Amino acid sequence: MARKIVLTSGKGGVGKTTITANLGVNLANLGFRTVLVDVDMGLNNLDVVMGLENQVVFDMTDVIMGRCRAKQALVEDKRFPNLFLLPSSHYNGKTKILGEHVKSVLSMLDSSFDYILIDCPAGVDAGFHRAVFSANEAIVVVTPHLSSIKDANKVLGLLDEYNISSKGIVINRLRGDLLASGEMLRVEDVVRALHIPLLGVIPDDDAISSACSVGGYLNSYESTRAFTLLCENIHSGTKKIYDCEMKYRGFMGYIRRNLKRKV
């Protein structure tokens, strides 16, 4: 049986798709058969971020409509053995896809995978329900900003209505320089505000932004380490949190901070 984890947030643009993709790559690299599921019908994103858009033949709607089997709709990522993508519908068609439909598709993949990561669309309406309905676990992605924390809090309340056995947060886009100078909410503050276990933190990293803008998996030193730790924590239950502030401490850190400010 696969662990079915939904990545959600309420707010858009906080990094759900980015984290789903990178977590998938890390889990696959560890040898776990992983499928990334895009349920943002009509606004496919995950295939673009993964650079797999041109390889999509069938999608989730085709499986639901009986035009292909679930496994036929999977796109294999040739760069990473064990990693697959189940694309969302590319057309904003008339088919209304419900959480129950997604659940039945995922149940066809359940026994063949170790991890099913579900990338939730923004908002808390039908798309949210569609994504969360089949999951057993939830990762709430939040940025260190009050509006994101407020939305995450709302989502955590909504998750109580589903069959979710464990919830954790990932704090994305932490800026080490701003943390060191006391200009950004600290990790402890965010955790205290949301009252759920911290699974990991991801630094704000220009390499992520540029990898996403051209489509394709990132390969950057700083965030790669943070994703590795996040992946370990999720898989093994460890609590290793990446130190985003490290390179901005001390004398050299002071210089780096000032240089970053000037850029």
Q: Given the rule CB under 6 A, which residues bind ligand ADP?
A: 9, 12-18, 122, 172-173, 202, 204-205, 208-209, 212
Nearest to 79 by CA among 60, 59, 51, 54: 51
- State in angstroms the smallest separation of the CB of 53 from Mg ion: 14
Q: How far is CA 170 from the centre of its chain?
A: 9
For ligand ADP, the closer of residues 7 and 27 by Cβ is 7
Task: Identify what 202 binds: Mg ion, ligand ADP, none; CB under 5 to 8 Å per kind.
Answer: ligand ADP
| Position closest to ligand ADP via CB | 212
For Mg ion, the closer of residues 45 and 172 by Cβ is 45
Residues near Mg ion (CB under 5 A) are: 16-17, 45
- State in angstroms the smallest separation of the CB of 45 from Mg ion: 5
- DSSP letter at 8 equals E
For ligand ADP, the closer of residues 63 and 211 by Cβ is 211
Nearest to 44 by CA among 102, 95, 96, 119: 119
Helix (H, G, I), strand (E, B) or coil at 79: coil
User: In angstroms, what CA-CA distances link 134 with 1, 95, 101, 138, 255?
Assistant: 13, 19, 9, 11, 48
- State in angstroms the smallest separation of the CB of 43 from Mg ion: 8
Task: Identify what 167 binds: ligand ADP, Mg ion, none; CB under 5 to 8 Å per kind.
Answer: none
Cβ neighbours around 48 below 10 Å, total: 15
- State in angstroms the smallest separation of the CB of 243 from ligand ADP: 15
Helix (H, G, I), strand (E, B) or coil at 156: helix
- State in angstroms the smallest separation of the CB of 200 from Mg ion: 18
